[in-house]
Amino acid sequence: MTTPFLSRKIPALVLLFTGLAGLLSCTARIDVNTEASPSRLIINGHISADTLRHSIKITRSSGYFSTSKPEGVSHAAVSIHTDRETFLLKESAAEAGLYQTEKSVCGTEGETYRLSVILDFDEDGLPEEYQAVSYMPGAPRIDSIGIRPSVILDDFLEVLVWGYMPEEKENYLSFHLYRNYELVNDSLQGFFIIDDLYMNKKEITGVSCFYLDQTEDKNLLRQGDLITMRIDGITKEYATFINDAQAELRGSDPIFSGPPANVGTNIVSKNPSAHIQVSGFFTAFSGNKKTTVYRY
């Protein structure tokens, strides 16, 4: 007697093995074109409410298989300005493509900042101009921070913050944690951003912002360590840029999902006929921080 289950499955199995045999017997050569695409102009930088040298980094993209750092682009005219003042940036003598303000420069919450970069990237004798615009939102005021064993995770410490939210129509917050003045979440993957709807009250009362795994040396806190929490107020556009860059870094999930889109940019060419592709981001942000001593 023929089993109904087998009678239905055998044709499907035959097709499956036939298809696999065809794939395994395929010996046609496929040549993949790995020729490098034209170099892309990359402009990254920011201005903050801190008094320091603010930087704009201008580089030329390298090939996918290149193991060298992107080449810095020199001889650009770089400035950041508002309706009231202009800051001229000078190229660093120590690093090609790094342009910095004077160390006395600081931004102001509520101002709109415009970046201008003029350079001859394609070396055709005709300079191109690139611009970007960013508003500087306000940052939360931090009254104090605290550290305690996590109430939900074993071997973890949690960092809590108390303070007050600024009066902003739409605000995104980025969190940065320092141990003995060294940044703990120092990678793109560790960049932590939330919409301020998460803190929908003006009063911030003991909100958990970081969980530190005490089995990992990088996160391990010792008696007397100085712990600093910094919270920056950033724009929605910059939050989207960081989230998209993180998604690109993680890769597609599931594996057969559609191809990722290019990470966006707010750098705009003022030469519509120019064929140069540009990436990067310019942003303005403000921040506040508070330090405590860790004691168990």
Dihedral sign for Cα 208, 210, 213, 219, please: negative
Distance, CA of 56 to CA of 51 (rounded, Å): 16
Q: Is the pTM of this model over 0.75?
A: yes
Q: For residue 199, what pLDDT band results from cuts at 50, 70 and 90?
A: low
| β 98-100/55-60 pair status | antiparallel
pLDDT mean over 262-271: 89
Q: Which of 28-37, 185-194, 240-249 has the lowest mean pLDDT?
A: 28-37
Instruction: Give the model confidence (pLDDT) of 216-233 as tens digits.
Output: 988 899 999 999 999 999
What per-residue confidence (pLDDT) applies to 64?
Answer: 61
Q: Which residues contact 235 (CB under 8 A, 6 or more apart)?
A: 134, 135, 137, 172, 283, 284, 285
More confident residue, 33 or 158: 158
Q: Is the pLDDT of residue 295 over 70?
A: yes
Exposure pattern of 189-226 as b/e (b: 16+ CB <10 Å)? eebebeebeebeeeebeeeebbebeeeeeebebeeeee
| β 77-81/112-119 pair status | antiparallel
Q: Which residue ranges form the domains of the chain, and what is each CATH number?
A: 41-137+262-284 (2.60.40), 141-236+288-293 (2.60.40)
Distance, CA of 1 to CA of 18 (rounded, Å): 27
Q: Is the pLDDT of residue 45 over 90?
A: yes
Distance, CA of 110 to CA of 127 (rounded, Å): 32
Q: Is the pLDDT of residue 167 over 60?
A: yes
What per-residue confidence (pLDDT) applies to 196?
Answer: 59
